Structure formats: C-alpha cells, structure tokens
Structure 1
Amino acid sequence: MCAIADTGSVRKAARQLGMTQPSLTTQLRRIEKALGGQLFFREPSGSRPTPLGHSVLCRARPIVAEMRALLDEVASASQHEQGARLHIGSTNSPAVAGWLRRLRVRLPETDTTIRTDVSANALLHMVATGQLDAAFVHEVEGAPLRVPDGLTEHELIAREPQFLALADTHPAAAQEVVRVADLADAQWMVDPTVDGEWAGLRRIWAAAGINPRVVHGDYLTTVDLVTAGEVVTPCQPTARPRHGMAIRPLYGDPLAVRLFMACRQEGTPAASADDLFADLTASYMEIAWASDAYRAWLVRHDGPMPVGT
C-alpha cells in the first residue's frame, strides 16, 4: 500500500518492490477484501488513495518504518562482519555508469550497488527511510519534488535544459534550434510516470499556444518510434543519438530540470557526501562534454559549467 501511494501506480510500485504487477494487484485485492473497502481509486493517470486508503496508510506507515529500522539495525550489525556497503539510487541518466565506476575506484573494499527508478520522489523516500544512502535525481521546473525532512541536497545543476529527440528526416531536424510552436502537428511521446514531466510539457505547450497529440509510454522503448518519425519526445541534453535520430535544443530552453544529489543529514557509512558528490560531478561533466549537441549549447551559453572544465 505504501509503495502504491508513494509511486502513484501499481505498475511502478511492483517494479520498486521487485514483483510482477499481477502479483501486487492480487495482494492489494486481498487487503481490500480483508478490510472491506476500496483503498485506491484506479484512474488513467495512476492510483490515488480513497478516504479509507488514507486512513489505513496512516496506520501502515509507522509499522513499515519500524520494520525498516529493525532491518537497518540487523544490516548494520552484519556490516562489521561482511564489510562496508554503499547503496545509491538514480533516475535515468547517462552519468550513472561513470559515477559507479569512480565510486568503485575510490572505495574498492565497499560493496556498491545502485537502484534506478523513473520516480525521483520514490528514490528520495528510499533515502529518507534508509533503503538508499544517496540518490541522484532531477526535479522538473515548476513541479517541485516532495523532499522528506532530514535530507541534505547537493545541487549539481540549477537549470539543465531539456532537448528534443526527433527523426533525422523530420523538417525541424534541419534547424539548429527547434521552436515548440513548430511542432504543433507532431505527435509527442510522454511518460506520465516520470514525476513532473507531464506538468512541465503541458506548461510549455500552453506557453507556445499548441495542443499536440500525445502518446503515453515508456521513454526507454521510444527509440524505434522516434527514428520512424512517429513521435517526438523530450530528452536529456546528455542523451546519445541513435541511428536515424537527431537531438536538438528547444528555442529559449522552456523545459528544464534541477539536478541534485540527496543524502541523509548524518551522512553515509561508507563514504562522505562530499566524495560521493565529487565523483558524480566528474561523471556528469564527462558525459556532458562528450555530447555534441550539449557541448555546442554549453559553448553558446557559457554554462551551466565553465567551458573547458
């Protein structure tokens, strides 16, 4: 129940819990049958608690927190016997691979693992409850994340522009910078499970005076649709173009995210927050300057990092 409420959907909750969606749906129905009422409203955009669901969640969360605390105590006790561990999390980013590589060089005796999730809010909750030591997340401009109390934020980029992925045969691909208004007739692909993404896109469409057709789906499966010319979709400026795809900045950079690393105020057991952040920063800068489209943008705008760093 807590996972469904935190992630906003049964599908995302199942992925977070390492279960299949049908299994989690079956468990939810059993709980609802035992309690005698519906706990979530099922809507096209996801699941939200009913009044009964809110009441049950208020009772459930302290139980879950106590159980996690117990597990953490057991894990901490065994850590002295088995060696140090570091659990990090991240939303999808090309910088993750380099971050892991640097951490393993810095901490060769530490068992370093990573958890990825499309939901930044879910990752922040996992840091707050001790399931993760640190998380690298993005916050869509105009759609603030729910940062739990007790977390410290280390800001990497205050405003990273989001680019557009489109077929290299699309007329707009011939332009160095694409205007949102020029894509009024295009079909946009949106992943509604990414926190803040849907709200951010609706905002820039409204500002451009367009109401485009929308396809809901998973960004990880859109490459074929983009290269076939079926959809256009926002992407990170560090994304690597595939064959048949072009990546272009949007005029005026109307869509942007804030990138930051979050950890608990007491720090992490295996490494200092400063060391984690230093390795993350180096990894991000490496992939930023390796991207042709982003490097050109950085040179034109003299930021958000110093040119040549």
Structure 2
Amino acid sequence: MDLEIRHLRAVTAIADAGSLHKAARVLGVAQPTLTAQLRRIEESLGGALFLRLPDGCRPTPLGHQLLARSRSVLADITHLTAEMRAAASSARTPQLRIGSTPTSVLPLWTRRLGVRYPEAQLTAQADVSSNTLLRMVAAGQLDVALVHEMEGTHLRVPEGLRLLVFLEREPAFLSISERHPAACRQTVPLQELADEQWMMDKAADGEWEILYRTLLAAGLTPRVLHGDYSTNRLLVTAGQAVTLCQATSPGADGVVPRRLEGDPIGYRWLLAARSDAQLVSVHDDLRAAYQEAVEQAPLYQAMGPLAFGPAPSTTPSRTSAPRCSAPDEGAAEPSPRVP
C-alpha cells in the first residue's frame, strides 16, 4: 500500500490529539475505522508508529520520523492548494499588464486605469530598456507598453506589434545636484558642463550613445561613467556626476531638473500593444496622466503646447477592461512601423 495524503493527515491527527478516540472525533470518523487505518499504515511501513498506552498514544521513533516529513508535506499541499485557487481566481479576473520605461507618468497612469477598469487586476512593470519592453509585449508578457526612442536611434520593433506615436518629442533635461552652481538657473548651456562627469545607464537603449555624440558635436570631451539608475541618483545627489532626465521629472532628494539650452537631445514616446483595441483602451488615461505630470514640472510646462501624436479614433469603454490575449493566441496582423 502506498502512502496517501489522507494517511498523513490521520497520523498527524493522532499525534496532535494524543489518542485514537480524540483523533477520530477530529477527523469525523469512527474510532474502529481509524484504528484499522492506522494498522494498515503500520503494516505497510513495517513498524509501529505509536505506542498504545493507558492514557493515549505516543509516537515511536519511526512515528516521529514520519510525522516530521508528514507535517512538511501537508504544509506544502496547503500552500499549493492556496496558490492554485488564487491562480484559478486570477485567470477568471480580467487583467491589464502595463509596462513602461521609468517615468513619473507611470503611477499617474496606473491610478487612472484603476479607476476606469475597477474590475481588472492591474499590474505595472518598469524597465530601462525600451527594446526589452517591446519584446515582452510581443511575447504576451505585457499587454501595453509605453517606451521612448532617442532621437537619432531606432528601436527594434518585433513583427506584428501595433505602435502609436504618443508624443512626437520630449526634450531631455539635465539632472544635477541642488548644490551645483548651475542649479540657480533654469537653462544650462552644454559648454558649462565641459568638466562634468556624466552618469548613464548603458541598459537604457540609445541614451549614452546619443549623449556621447551630442557632447562631441558641442566640442566637449565626454567623461561618461556607466551605472544603473539608483547609482546615478546617488552620485548626482552627491554632486559627483550629472545625468539626463525626463522633462516631467519633478526632482527630489537633493536633485533638480534643468533645461539644456537649445534642447539638443530629445525622446519620442511610443505606445505599443498587440492590437489596436489595447492601444485605444489605455490611450486617453495615459494622455491625461502625462498632462498631469507636466503640470507638476514647471520648467517643462513653461515650454508651451505638447506635441502629442494623433489619438486613436475609437473611444474606450469606461467599464470593461480590455481583452488581454494569451501568448499562444497569436499576434495581430503586422502593421508598418511608425514613421
């Protein structure tokens, strides 16, 4: 006879209750039935699991060994059952999986989407690499992604993705310590940064290459140090480096955004999905969130009207979450790359 989960539960109940009589009541079976079951388990294992004493049952060494493993197995079964029930419930719940390169717009966007689609399970993921996010959308790991493309570079767009130009151009701003000499001015010429060390995340597609090219074109000798976004912020706050930031960046923790004179570097923001319907379902809230972020960035707001791309023509429902295709459902019909 092979051990089954019900056998482990019976042995554990006997040990916890201290007697066959009490364990039988806990399990909701007759005592003779439980006694016969225990006897079959012991015969199958080849040894006694409990000492039958006048005041109850006590585990034998073999019983202690089985109990130790039984409790672990039963705990795993309980956790597995809970996970599978949660997964089944999640599968029945509409999901909306949003991706974005790091931007202050993201939390404003997800907040609005949560209001529009209250019945949906909303998840958000940020990644510094636009190309990584595009691959995740194409693979069905994300439903929609907001990505930026540096001027002078081209993203690698997987076949079949739908792309919408969300914003034609956002100028790249300068992120510097609030103690930096240039922090007292709203606009900073590149030439005043000739002696600065620039900190860039090489995983951010195209950013360091364009910065390097721009500095050379301005007659500067670039000093570029590579690090992740967290390290960037630490060194910029300490005044040991400067870096690029988005115009919507509010600045915080000793760091302030400043406009680069002439706006020599810019981004184009793109919205990517596997279907037009998915683009439509999130576009209006993204646009409102972006405008809200601009209102919190005085330097950017003072630059005037935003160069938004054309909006989708279909109005999204305010109550139904967008349909999220499973990865194996296939991609939408290929569309030409956004020019």
Counterpart-to-counterpart distance in 1, 2:252 and 2:121? 33
Counterpart-to-counterpart distance in 1, 2:138 and 2:226? 30
Aligned to 1:283: 289
Contact 1:120–1:137 (Cα < 8 Å) also in 2: yes
Q: TM-score if structure 2 supplies the norm length?
A: 0.62
Aligned to 1:10: none
Aligned to 2:261: 251
Structure number with greater Rg is 2
Q: RMSD of the TM alignment (CA)?
A: 2.0
Aligned to 1:60: none
Aligned to 2:274: 264
Counterpart-to-counterpart distance in 1, 2:261 and 2:184? 14
Match of 2:152 among 136, 142, 145: 142
Q: TM-score if structure 1 supplies the norm length?
A: 0.67
Match of 1:154 among 157, 164, 173: 164
Counterpart-to-counterpart distance in 1, 2:286 and 2:160? 21
When the two structures are aligned, how many residues end up with a matched partner?
A: 222
Counterpart-to-counterpart distance in 2, 1:81 and 1:193? 33
When residues 266 and 158 of structure 1 are mapped into structure 2, their CA distance, relative to the original with a 3 A threshold, is closer
Contact 1:166–1:226 (Cα < 8 Å) also in 2: yes
Gaps of at least 5 residues in structure 2 are 1-87, 309-339
Instruction: Report sequence identity in percent.
Output: 45
Match of 2:204 among 194, 197, 209: 194
Answer yes or no: is 1:96 the counterpart of 2:99.
Answer: no
Counterpart-to-counterpart distance in 2, 1:213 and 1:165? 16
Gaps of at least 5 residues in structure 1 are 1-77
Counterpart-to-counterpart distance in 1, 2:220 and 2:119? 54
Counterpart-to-counterpart distance in 2, 1:163 and 1:292? 12
Counterpart-to-counterpart distance in 2, 1:197 and 1:189? 11
Give the superposition deviation at 1:79: 8.2
Aligned to 2:122: 112
Aligned to 2:45: none
Secondary structure of 2:289 counterpart: helix
Amino acid at match of 1:282: A
Query: 5 Å matches for 1:119-138?
Result: 119-138=129-148
Counterpart-to-counterpart distance in 1, 2:291 and 2:122? 22
Match of 1:293 among 295, 299, 303: 299
Instruction: Kindly report structure 1 stretches of 4+ aligned residues shifted beyond 4 Å.
Output: 78-81
Give the superposition deviation at 1:177: 1.1
Amino acid at match of 1:303: L
Amino acid at match of 1:295: Q
Contact 1:154–1:277 (Cα < 8 Å) also in 2: no
Amino acid at match of 2:223: R
What CA deviation, in whole Å up to 9, does each residue of 1:105-149 have, x standing for no partner?
A: 111111111121111101101111111111011111111101112
Answer yes or no: is 1:214 the counterpart of 2:214.
Answer: no
